[in-house]
Amino acid sequence: MFDLTNKTAVITGAASGIGKAVTLLFAKQGATVHVLDLNKESAAAVAGEIKGEEGIAFAHACNVAEQKEILDVFNNIGWIDILVNCAGISHIGTAENTTEEDLDRIYSVNVKGIYNCLHAVIPGMKKNGGGVILNMCSIAAHVGLPDRFAYSMSKGAVQGMTISVAKDYLHDGIRCNSVSPARVHTPFVDDFLAKNYPGKEKEMFDKLAKTQPIGRMARPEEIAHLVLYLCSGEAAFITGCDYPIDGGFINLNN
C-alpha cells in the first residue's frame, strides 16, 4: 500500500519541518523526489540523505514567491505526478499592528507562492492525463487564532485555492486536497521560543503543546503520513477536501 514507485514528486519547503518529513517518506515509498527550498545547502543535504539510502532525489534552490524561478525549475523537471506545497512562513499580529510590509510578505509566500506552483504544474498534469496536488493549510483557516491575522488570511486563501483547483480540473484527472495541522514541533517552533521567550522555552513549549486537547504537538512525520495517503492511489476517490490533523483542536477545545 501507498507505493509511489515510478512517481515523480515535487515538494516545496522540503528542507525542514513538515516538508522534509514528506520528502523523506515519499522517497522511502519509491518516489523520485525533487527537493525545492529557498536554502540551497539545506535542500542539497536532504537530497544527499535520500541518496545515502539509495533513493532518488534532486535538489533545487528557488523562491516560490518568484514566478520565473518556479517556471524555470518546473520546466526543467518535466513530468510531475505529485506536487506538495509545503513552503510557508508565519507571522504574529492583529489587523491593528500588522504592517503593510508584513501582509505583503505573508501573501507573497503563502498565497502567491502556492499559486505560482499551481500555475506551473497544472498544464503538464493536464497533458500527462492527471496528477495529485496537496496544499499545506492550517487550523487557522477554520478557527480564530489570537494574533494570527495575516497568517489566517493566507491559510483561508489556501483552502479556497484547493477547492477551486479541484473543481476546475476534475475532468482532467487532477486531484487537489489540503491538510490542516494544528501545532507541529518543527525547528520553527524551537527558534520562535528561543527568540521570544529566552530562559522560558520549556515552560512556553509545554503551554503551547497543551493547547491541543490530545496534550502534545504533532510530529512532522505524523503529518507526512496523512499527506502520503492523500497523494497515493489508495486515495483516488478523494478530491476537493481539507483534512484537519489537529489533536482535537477544532472540535474538542471547549
- The residue length of the chain stands at 254
Evaluate whether the domain defined by 8-182+218-246 bears CATH number 3.40.50.11540: no
Residue 233 CA to residue 250 CA, distance in Å, equals 28
Residue 32 confidence (pLDDT): 98
Marked catalytic residue, from 151, 169, 197, 243: 151
- Does 151 qualify as catalytic in the annotation? yes
Residue 254 confidence (pLDDT): 67
Alpha helix segments (H runs only) across the chain: 17-28, 40-52, 67-77, 100-106, 112-128, 149-168, 187-196, 201-209, 220-231, 249-252
pTM of the model: 0.96
Mean pLDDT for back-to-back runs of 10 residues, the chain (254 residues): 98 98 98 98 98 98 98 98 97 96 98 98 98 98 95 98 98 98 93 90 94 96 98 98 97 86
For 210-228, the pLDDT digits (tens) are 999 999 999 999 999 999 9
How far apart are the two ends of the chain, measured CA to CA in Å?
37
Question: Of the candidates 189, 177, 155, which has an alpha carbon nearest to the alpha carbon of residue 227?
Answer: 177
